[in-house]
Chain A
Amino acid sequence: MKARIHITLKKGVLDPQGKAIANALSHLGFDGVEEVRQGKYIEIDLADGDKAQARAKLDAMCAQLLANTVIENYTVELQA
């Protein structure tokens, strides 16, 4: 079972790296870029088993380590 986890900064949290990327894009001539927010993408391979249990486990992983919920949100996508 493969899980894809996206970690993004919460709304309202300043993202200086995203701003720098937006600036670089405009220097390259890409116009119309209104905002860039940078995040993280994590893939986890899990032993096959009960999907609901896997989801609960992944949720706990995110809350305890993978994301810092003070500043970040996360989404978990589970593939068969």
Chain B
Amino acid sequence: MKSCVIVFPGSNCDRDVAVAIEASSGTAPLMVWHGETALPACDLIVLPGGFSYGDYLRSGAMAARAPIMRAVLAKAASGTPVLGLCNGFQIMTEAGMLPGALMRNAGLKFICRDVFLKVENTDNIFNRRYASGQVVRFPISHHDGNYFTDAATLDRLESTGRIAFRYCAPDGAVNASANPNGSLNNIAGILNAAGNVLGMMPHPERLIAPELGGSDGRAMFDALASLLQCA
């Protein structure tokens, strides 16, 4: 599997996701600096977590206009899988790859802890190794993760199965008390209409081995590696 991790000034989970990809696929991704204008042929692109450009103006706003993003948008449009984690999700919404916006957490605090997520759509390249309704534990680490979109878009996301993950209680109950940041409908991650772009605030790449405190994130990278290696 050939993969690319885009590195912006202020990215800080680029190495974590590179380790996760290599652990599952056996091949280290190519790290691509944001100032590049072209991407090599690849099977997967990752926009990693972090604080690109110091979150100036709005989280992800500057990175979404970086030179490399033209190539990322073109690859995404042609069907290449693109995974956006945390700041990567913010960059995706700012770049118009996914609808909505990630606003300041409702409680105004930066939140860094593990949360439980209910896996919703499993009929996509990222979540194939999870069971629909499965509860997984991933860390979150963000100040701006409060998912917002207009009512019509929210209806469209819900009715077309584009919710990938929702914040939930340990037993899988999706309710207000399990919502860490005020996101509409407890949304933690969404897919684009074609299903090849996933953006999510939680960090699957941070829990890929028991030594790290958990391995619930591993299945996402295993799924991508197995699918993209035989493609």
Contact = CB atoms under 8 A, between A and B. Distances in A.
Whether both chains belong to one complex is answered with: yes
B7 to A, nearest CB: 21
Interface string B59-97: 001000100000000000000000000000000011000
Contact of B182 (A16, A64, A66, A70): A16
Contact of A65 (B61, B106, B107, B182): B61
Contacts of B100: 70
B101 A71 contact: yes
B175 interface: no
A14 B182 contact: yes
B108 interface: yes
Place the interface of chain B in its size category. Answer: 20 to 34
A14 B106 contact: yes
Contacts of A71: 101, 103, 148
A16 B107 contact: yes
Contacts of B15: none
B108 A17 contact: yes
A59 to B, nearest CB: 17
Interface in A2-24: 13-14, 16-17, 20
B103 A14 contact: yes
Contact of B106 (A16, A66, A70): A16
B12 interface: no
Interface string B147-187: 01110000000000000000000000000000000100000
Interface of B: 57-58, 61, 65, 93-94, 99-101, 103-108, 146, 148-150, 182
